[in-house]
Amino acid sequence: MTGTMTGKVCLVTGASSGIGRATALELLRAGHTVYGLARRVEKMDVIQDAGGHAIGADVTSEADLDRAVQAVLDQHQRIDVLVNNAGTAVHGAAEEVPMERARQVFEVNLFGLARLTQLVLPQMRERRSGTIVNISSIAGEISLPLGAWYHASKHALEAYSDSLRQEVARFGVRVVVVQPGIIKTGFEDDTPRQLREISGHGPYAEVAEWMARRAEEGFGPGSKASDPRVVGRAVAEIVAARDPKPRYAVGHL
Ligand code: NDP
């Protein structure tokens, strides 16, 4: 078994697929103790097979997050690294996206991350040590049409992280933002599909058609989506770094 009882104790959200799974596996490979967190526990078998642990939890449920953090603390009395990666997106015109969907995006991408941070921070602050890695996106830097709520949530995550960094640096806690580019995951596959659904009809059909074509091309002629392991390796390097930068762009075109 790799990764058990050595290195740092890491909690990675959204570990049942894509970037989160790749990150959990890279952290295990680096010799850390890794807990993956996601709703679909069965999708974290690969993490368990590699010596990690899986916690079934929904980041929008405070009770789930309480239970998850307590389980890790009961076992190790510390969490050294929190990777807030769980994320969701909605594509659609700002005029048309139901507010319920918009709220759901913020519940996962911002409030879930913020609540988990509140639960993990006290012991990091008291121990004067810890790393919080928040997975943003290139979408947290720029904004495109039909992505208002996703962009807004990632811009909000960036601002939240910048404030948090300044609050907790004095306690030896590092806050790092990672901005992946286009990464080959189910999430990235879903973008053109959602845009195609809008492109067939309605007042935003034309911009949706244009955006769908761009998404299918990977947002650049001849561009290729990066492997999620690129992000996983970057997170492992950040965890190992003596003095990480506040922000890293990873897997950009
Ligand atoms: P995936 O769809 O492959 O993974 C998303 C993960 O988030 C899943 O493990 C899912 O687990 C988890 N998740 C979603 N909602 C919840 C919830 N309510 N509670 C717990 N876990 C949840 O996407 P990616 O790997 O691509 O995305 C990971 C992060 O990377 C996201 O924050 C995304 O915004 C960001 N990103 C992705 C890019 C890309 O091109 N792919 C580019 C830039 C940023 P489950 O469903 O089992 O709960």
Quote the ligand 1 centre to 126 CA distance (angstroms). 30
Round to whole Å and give the CA distance between 61 and 42: 19
| CA–CA dist 206, 165 (Å, integer) | 41
CB of 232 within 6 A of ligand 1: the answer is: no
Report d(CA 114, CA 84) in Å as an integer. Answer: 9
Distance CA 13, CA 19 (A): 10
Q: Is 27 within the bounds of a domain?
A: yes
* Mean pLDDT within 27-51: 98
Reported confidence tier of residue 48, pLDDT bands at 50, 70, 90 = very high
> Which amino acid makes up residue 133?
V
For residue 159, the enclosing domain spans 9-181+227-250
Is 192 part of any domain?
no
What average pLDDT does the segment 229-253 reach?
96
Mean pLDDT, to the nearest integer, of 163-181?
98
Does any domain span residue 218? no
Average pLDDT, the chain: 94
Atom of ligand 1 nearest to the CA of 43: 47
Atom of ligand 1 nearest to the CA of 60: 18
Which candidate, 56, 172, 85, places its Cα nearest to that of 123?
A: 172
d(CA 229, CA 110): 24
Looking at the domain assignment, is residue 119 inside a domain?
yes
Total-model pTM: 0.96
Counted domains in the chain? 1
Is residue 5 pLDDT above 80, yes or no? no
- Reading across the β-sheet that carries 9-13, which strands appear in turn? 53-56, 33-38, 9-13, 81-84, 130-135, 173-180, 247-250
Give the residue numbers marked as catalytic.
16, 136, 150, 154
Q: Which two tokens stand for residue 130?
A: 């810890």
Q: Is residue 39 part of a domain?
A: yes
For a mutational test of ligand 1's pocket, the pick from 42, 85, 226, i.e. the residue with the most ligand atoms closer than 8 A to its C-beta, is 85
Q: What is the pLDDT of residues 102-127, one digit of tens each?
A: 999 999 999 999 999 999 999 999 99
For the Cβ of 234 lying below 6 angstroms from any atom of ligand 1, the answer is: no
Q: Looking at residue 6, what is its pLDDT?
A: 56
User: Is 58 close to ligand 1, i.e. is its CB under 6 Å away?
Assistant: yes
Instruction: Give the pLDDT score at 1.
Output: 38
Query: Judging by beta carbons within 10 Å of its beta carbon (0-12, 13-18, 19+), is residue 99 exposed, middle or buried?
Result: exposed
Answer whether residue 122 is part of any domain. Answer: yes
Q: Which of the 8 DSSP states describes residue 169?
A: G
Residue 88: predicted pLDDT: 97
Please indicate, yes or no, if residue 74 is contained in any of the structural domains: yes
Task: Tell me, using a 6 A CB cutoff, whether residue 124 lines ligand 1.
Answer: no
Q: DSSP for 71-84?
A: HHHHHHS---EEEE
CATH number, residue 160 = 3.40.50.720
Q: State yes or no: pLDDT of 183 exceeds 60.
A: yes
- Tens of pLDDT, residue by residue over 73-103, are 999 999 999 999 999 999 999 999 999 999 9
Q: What band does 201 get if pLDDT is binned at 50, 70 and 90?
A: confident
Mutation pick for ligand 1 pocket among 149, 185, 231 (CB with most ligand atoms within 8 Å): 185
Residue 106 lies in a domain: yes
- Pocket flag, ligand 1, residue 183 (CB < 6 Å): yes
